[in-house]
């Protein structure tokens, strides 16, 4: 749909809302245009293309904010949305006020970051690249038996927000991603799987050689893995593993979780909660971020801030509702979570240190490297911080990466882990997360409980 048509529909929705008793209201439009090519056994196995749009409405009436969403843009849809949102207001009795917002000095917000390179994302380009990549992966080593999943995807989408206070906010983004997952078989018949991904906004910048090297390490390095003895280990979490680990607990820094009694960080801003060498920032306009975010989904301008500053819990992340409850200003972290406004980081950054990955291993001396964590949606208690997770990796022997390990669990507590970080590496990577990306290096942690062979 053309943006203009969406705008007309939204204007009508906002104009009609007063008739249903809404004192303030907002319409939120998102458009998602995607394309995906999958390769299997020397052929395009799947090609997908899509366009989907939706509008969600929120309106303030009798002290409550009612929501409704639809993918239809008709006069009947206007009636349906306003009636439903009104019914929702009638049953709500939330004590904490939600806001429709417009900064008088920033009524018109506009930020377009669509890349010129997006037009390179054609079916034929993806197909050629995918087939070449599959061929190169299979040529890496005779033990690699299949590339079970190889997908090249791109997406672009604008977000338009209009409200009854005069806010007119537009932002958009695009991106392209590649993922390959393959299967290898050792001479003894044992099977290992592994994958690697790439994200960017220009397909020409895809570094095939670097991708193959990393993928090869991810899968062939695991061959011959076996369990190891249970015990407490000095542990290097690789950048990817540490990103996975942090993502499971980042919700504890959201003011919404704290105010619901679902985070142990409540009322602890200013307190030392982590190691001196650990700094975690929310950087909306991070220089190398693919998705820069100058304002949030409530029309609040975003700012760079340390969440944990040299171990001190500097600030939680707030949207307008949680900030009002705490008697402070929003941090510009109000973003849509499903249909409702929640809290989300923009681009997260673990500030890197000086040491390379190899130097972290050397510092550990004897220990373990964790490269993959499984079951993060189940094996963690996000509130208490307790975790027990299936993981894979390598032993560290004499300060160097040793034999691969599997069928082990790492167990402990998030709050203990961040206190026990003794060194932050310099090998920063970026992985899509939250509204943007998570940038993190590897870290060395003292004393992680590993369960393996008795």
Partner 1 sequence: MLKDSDVQKILDVAMSTTADFAEVFQEETRSKSVSLLNSKVIRAGTNFSSGTGIRLLAGTNCVYVYSNDNDIDVLLSLAKEASHAIKGVSKGELAELQALCHSSATDVVIDPMNIPKSDTVDFLRKASDYAIAYNGLITQVAAGCTANDRLARVTNSRGLNKEDYTSRIRLSIEAIATKGKEKQTGRVAPGTMRGYEFINEYPVIEKTAECCETAMRMVNAGYAPSGKMSVVLGNGFGGVIFHEACGHALEATSVGIKNSYFTDKLGEKIASDVVSARDNAKIKGEWGSYETDDEGNESSDLLLIENGVLKNYLVDELGSRRMNCKPTGCSRRESYSYAPTSRMSNTYICNGNSDPKDIIANTEYGLYCSQMGGGSVDTSTGDFNFAANEAFMIRDGKIAEPVRGATLIGKGQEILKNIDMVGNDLECAAGMCGSQSGSVPVTVGQPTIRVSSILVGGRDAE
Helix or strand run (H / E) with residue 401: strand 400-413
188: CB partners within 8 A, 6+ apart: none
Residue 57: CB atoms within 10 Å: 25
* Stretch in the footprint of partner 1 (CB under 8 A) among 160-168, 185-193, 356-364, 433-441: 185-193
Angle CA 431–436–439, to nearest 5 = 40
Does 71 engage in binding with partner 1 (CB under 8 A)?
A: yes
Shortest Cβ distance from residue 370 to partner 1 (Å)? 13
Decide whether 235 or 302 has the Cβ nearer to partner 1.
235
What gap in Å lies between CA 353 and CA 19, rounded to an integer? 58
Q: How far apart are CA 64 and CA 83, in angstroms?
A: 15
Give the interface segment with partner 1, choosing from 12-20, 154-162, 260-268, 293-301 (CB under 8 A): 260-268
Identified binder of partner 1 from the candidate list 301, 411, 422, 429, rule CB under 8 A: 411
CA torsion sign for 163, 167, 168, 171 is negative
Q: Could you give the 3-state DSSP secondary structure of residue 273?
A: coil
Q: Does 138 bind partner 1 (CB under 8 A)?
A: no
266 binds partner 1 (CB under 8 A): no
Residue span binding partner 1 (CB under 8 A) among the ranges 39-47, 204-212, 291-299, 303-311: 39-47
Q: Does 285 bind partner 1 (CB under 8 A)?
A: no
State the Cα torsion 293-296-302-307 to the nearest 10°.
-100
Residue with smaller CB distance to partner 1, 50 or 288: 50
C-beta of 88: minimal distance to partner 1 in Å?
4
Of the candidates 171, 182, 195, the one whose C-alpha atom is nearest the C-alpha of residue 143 is 182
CA-closest candidate to residue 429, choices 363, 362, 371: 371
154 makes contact with partner 1 (CB under 8 A): no
Find the binder of partner 1 among 3, 131, 155, 264 (CB under 8 A).
264
Closest distance between partner 1 and the C-beta of residue 255, in Å? 15
Q: Of 148, 276, 366, 397, which lies in the binding site for partner 1, with binding defined by CB under 8 A?
A: 148
Stretch that binds partner 1, among 343-351, 385-393, 396-404, 419-427 (CB under 8 A): 385-393
Nearer to partner 1, 181 or 367 (CB): 181
* Binding-site member from 27, 364, 408, 418 for partner 1 (CB under 8 A): 408
Residue (of 99, 15, 149, 87) closest to 325 by Cα position: 99
Select the span of 129-137, 237-245, 258-266, 359-367 touching partner 1 (CB under 8 A).
258-266
Q: What's the closest the beta carbon of residue 243 comes to partner 1, in angstroms?
A: 18
Does 1 bind partner 1 (CB under 8 A)? Our answer is yes
62 forms part of the interface with partner 1 (CB under 8 A): no
- The count of residues interacting with partner 1 (CB under 8 A) is 74
**What are 135's two structure tokens?**
């061929």
113 interacts with partner 1 by CB under 8 A: no
Identify the three-state secondary structure at position 430. strand
Q: What does the alpha-carbon distance between residue 351 and residue 366 come to, in Å, rounded to a whole number?
A: 26
What phi and psi, each to the nearest 5 degrees, are found at residue 167?
Answer: -70, 135
- For 76, residues 6+ apart whose C-beta sits below 8 A from its C-beta are none
Give the span between the Cα atoms of 61 and 105, in whole angstroms.
26
Q: Of 13, 70, 218, 258, which one interacts with partner 1 (CB under 8 A)?
A: 70
Closest CA to 333 of 306, 299, 286, 290: 299
**271 is a contact residue toward partner 1 (CB under 8 A):** no
d(CA 227, CA 224): 10
- Span 329-368, contacts to partner 1 by CB under 8 A: 339-340
3-state secondary structure of 317: strand
Instruction: Rule CB under 8 A: say whether 260 interacts with partner 1.
Output: yes
When binding is defined by CB under 8 A, the residue of 298, 406, 423, 437 that contacts partner 1 is 406
Is 288 a residue that touches partner 1 (CB under 8 A)?
no
Residue 43 touches partner 1, criterion: CB under 8 A: yes
């Amino acid at each position: 749909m053309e943006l203009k048509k969406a705008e007309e529909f939204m204007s009508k929705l906002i104009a009609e809302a007063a008739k249903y008793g809404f004192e303030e209201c907002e319409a939120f439009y998102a458009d998602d245009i995607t394309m995906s090519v999958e390769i299997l056994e020397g052929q395009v196995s799947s090609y997908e293309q899509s366009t989907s749009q939706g509008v969600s409405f929120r309106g303030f009436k009798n002290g409550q904010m009612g929501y409704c969403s639809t993918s239809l843009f008709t006069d009947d849809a206007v009636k349906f949305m306003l009636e439903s949102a009104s019914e929702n207001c009638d049953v709500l009795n939330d004590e904490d006020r939600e806001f429709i917002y417009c900064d008088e000095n920033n009524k018109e917000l506009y930020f377009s970051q669509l890349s010129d390179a997006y037009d390179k994302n054609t079916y034929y380009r993806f197909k050629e690249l995918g087939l070449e990549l599959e061929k190169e992966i299979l040529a890496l080593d005779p033990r690699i038996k299949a590339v079970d999943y190889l997908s090249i995807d791109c997406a672009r989408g604008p977000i338009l927000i209009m409200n009854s206070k005069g806010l007119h906010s537009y932002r958009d983004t695009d991106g392209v991603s590649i993922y390959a997952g393959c299967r290898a078989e050792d001479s003894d018949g044992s099977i290992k799987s592994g994958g690697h991904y790439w994200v960017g906004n220009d397909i020409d910048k895809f570094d095939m050689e670097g991708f193959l090297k990393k993928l090869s390490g991810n899968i062939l390095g695991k061959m011959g893995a076996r369990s190891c003895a249970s015990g407490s280990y000095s542990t290097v979490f690789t950048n990817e593993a540490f990103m996975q680990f942090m993502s499971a607990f980042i919700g504890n820094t959201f003011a919404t979780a704290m105010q619901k009694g679902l985070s142990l960080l409540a009322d602890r801003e200013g307190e030392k909660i982590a190691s001196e060498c650990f700094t975690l920032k929310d950087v909306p306009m991070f220089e190398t971020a693919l998705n820069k975010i100058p304002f949030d989904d409530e029309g609040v301008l975003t700012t760079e801030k340390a969440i944990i500053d040299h171990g001190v819990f500097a600030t939680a992340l707030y949207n307008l509702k949680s900030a009002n409850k705490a008697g402070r200003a929003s941090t510009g972290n109000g973003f849509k979570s499903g249909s409702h406004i929640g809290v989300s980081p923009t681009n997260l950054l673990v500030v890197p240190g000086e040491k390379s990955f190899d130097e972290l291993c050397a510092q550990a001396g004897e220990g373990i490297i964790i490269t993959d964590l499984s079951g993060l949606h189940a094996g963690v208690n996000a509130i208490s911080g307790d975790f027990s997770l299936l993981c894979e990796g390598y032993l560290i022997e004499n300060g160097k990466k040793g034999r691969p390990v599997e069928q082990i669990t790492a167990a402990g507590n998030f709050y203990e882990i961040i206190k026990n970080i003794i060194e932050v590496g310099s090998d920063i990577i970026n992985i899509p997360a939250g509204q943007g990306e998570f940038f993190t290096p590897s870290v060395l942690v003292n004393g992680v409980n590993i369960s393996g062979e008795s």
